[in-house]
Structure 1
C-alpha cells in the first residue's frame, strides 16, 4: 500500500466529530505552492496545520534562527475545512536539528516567535537531553536514516511525564523506498519503548501530492505498531496536547497533567457541537 505571532490555544469542546491536525507542513517561499498545500490540507479535513521552519545549525559558522513570515503574507485566503464551517487554522513551528549540545539555546528569545517548538536530536546524548530537560513541545524522530542509537525507557518516560510528544512523519517514505524502510524501522523501535504513548503522526509534506487524509494516516499507524486508538489520537487528541503544552510553555513553563470527567465532557457538549470529543481535559500543575 502506498503511503496512501503568539497565539493562545483554546481547548476544543466536545462532539462526535474528530478534529484532525497536521503539525508539520514544510514552509515554502513559493506562495502559490504553499497555498495549494494549505488548500489540500483543508480539503482533506485537517482543522489545524503548522508551517515548519527547519533550522540546522552548523558548528563552523554562526547562523541566525529564521524569522517566521506572518501567515497573512504567505497565504492569500484561508480555505474552509471540509465538513466544517470555519477556515483552517495555520500556526508557525520551528524545528531545531541538533548534532551538538550548543545547537539548542534554551533561553533564545527567537524561539518565542513561533507557536510550536520542536527539536530533532541526532545522537543518543542529545536525545536524552531533549526528553529530560529541553523546553520543547515535540521531539522529532529521524525518518531519513537508521538511528545510531536505541531508544531507552528512562528518557522516553521522562518526556511522557513532562508532556513532550514524539513525532513521526511519513512524506519521506513516499519519496524514496529506502527512507520508507527507515521510517518503518525507526517507528517500530520507538513504539516498542513508548507503547504508543505521546506520539503524533504528521506529513512533513513539501507539496500537495504528499499529503494523505486523516484516515489513511490512521491506517498507516498500524504499520508503525500503533493500536487503532493510538493511531487516531496521533492525528487528533495528541496534537491538541502539543498545542496545550506550547501554551503552557510560553506562559508559565509548567508541566501538563491531564484528566477526564464525565461532568466536564457534558459541559463541553453544551458549549459547541462542532468539535471532537476530547479524550483528556487539561489540568495545569
Structure 2
C-alpha cells in the first residue's frame, strides 16, 4: 500500500517556486509518500496555453542534494509498511476554477488541453457548476474549498450521482493546520452530521436551535456555553464561517462514507505538509474509521482512471 498527496501546488517556473516545489517533494519523500501530483490551477477561459508543461524533478538529483534522504525514506516506509522498492511517482493535475455553466462545458473528454494532464479537477464557484460536476462533467476530482464560505449548497442526491460516476471529492487539510479556530471547531462539531440530514439547510435549522444542541454536540459541559452564544445569533449572516464550513465537511464525509473521498495537503510550503498517519488521524476526526481515513490517502488515490499512460515518473 502506497500513500499519495494529489495536491502539491504548481506555480510558474521561477527559481523561487522551483525551490519551494523541490522542498515539498523532498519532504513528501521523507515522510513516506510514494506519489504526488503537481496541481496547476487556472481560472477563466481555457486556452491552448494551458496545456501541461510541468516537468518532473529528477529524483537522482534530489538524492544527491540531500544525502540523508534515502535513509529517511527507508525509515518512514518501514514504519508505514510500504516496500522500500516502491517507486516514487510524479503526476500532473489541472484544477479548473469554474464560475459558470459555459466554463463547465469545457470539461469534456474531447478537450485536447485536458488530455495532457494525468488528473483533471474542477473547483466549483456556482451551484450550476457544482451540479454539472456531479452529473456530467468529465473530471476525476471535485475540489471543494472549505477555507471559504461555499457559494453553493451540497446536495446528497448530487453527491451520490458523482460517486456513481466514479468521481472523487477532495478535502484539503492545510487550512486546518494554519487556522487553529477551524481545527477546534471541526473537533467540537465532530458528531453534528450524523443525523441523516438531506441537505445543509436541514442541518442548519437543527444545529442552530438551542433545544437540539445537547443531542447533536454530544459534549454538553464542554460546548454548552459556546452554543448559548450561537443561539443568540441570526443564521446564517452572523454565524462564524468556521462553524458552517466544518458542517459542510462533516456532511460530505457522512454522505460519501469515505468511499469516493481523497485528502490532500494543498500545502504552500513544507510547514503545512504532514505524514500519512498524521493525515489519517486528522481525517478520522471528521467521522471516518481509521481504515477509511487511510484509504483516502492511499487506495482511493490509486483508482485506475487516475493512472493514465502519460504519467510522469
**Equivalent pairs, count:** 229
2:10 matches 1:27:
yes
Give the counterpart of 1:125 among 124, 128, 132.
128
Q: Which has the higher strand share?
A: 1
SS of 1:103's equivalent?
helix
Cα distance change, pair 63–110 in 1 and its aligned pair in 2 (3 A): closer
TM alignment of 1:203-222, pairs within 5 A = 203-222=265-284
Q: Which has the higher helix share?
A: 2
Deviations along 1:89-142, one digit per CA (max 9) or x if unpaired, are: 111100001111222312321111111111111222211110110111111111
**Aligned partners of 1:75 and 1:55: how far apart in 2?**
31
Structure 1, unpaired ranges of 5+: 1-17, 251-285
TM alignment of 1:110-121, pairs within 5 A = 110-121=113-124
Deviations along 1:131-190, one digit per CA (max 9) or x if unpaired, are: 110111111111221223332222111111111110000112223346653663331121
Structure 2, unpaired ranges of 5+: 64-68, 78-83, 184-241
SS of 2:6's equivalent?
strand
TM-score (norm 1): 0.72
**Contact 1:52/1:95, CA 8 A, preserved across alignment:** yes
**Aligned partners of 1:23 and 1:56: how far apart in 2?**
19
SS of 1:91's equivalent?
strand
2:169 matches 1:166:
yes
Deviations along 1:49-80, one digit per CA (max 9) or x if unpaired, are: 0000011116xx97942533221489944775
Give the counterpart of 1:69 among 54, 71, 89.
54
**Aligned partners of 2:245 and 2:58: how far apart in 1?**
34
**Contact 2:154/2:248, CA 8 A, preserved across alignment:** no
TM alignment of 1:131-210, pairs within 5 A = 131-177=134-180, 180=183, 181=242, 184-210=246-272
SS of 2:50's equivalent?
coil
Number of the residue aligned with 2:43: 56
Deviations along 1:13-55, one digit per CA (max 9) or x if unpaired, are: xxxxx31111111114322221110010011010010000011
Aligned-pair RMSD on alpha carbons? 2.7
Number of the residue aligned with 1:36: 23
Q: Which has the larger radius of gyration?
A: 2
**Aligned partners of 2:156 and 2:97: how far apart in 1?**
22
TM-score (norm 2): 0.66
1:248, distance to aligned residue in structure 2 (A)? 7.2
**Contact 1:35/1:75, CA 8 A, preserved across alignment:** no
SS of 2:297's equivalent?
coil
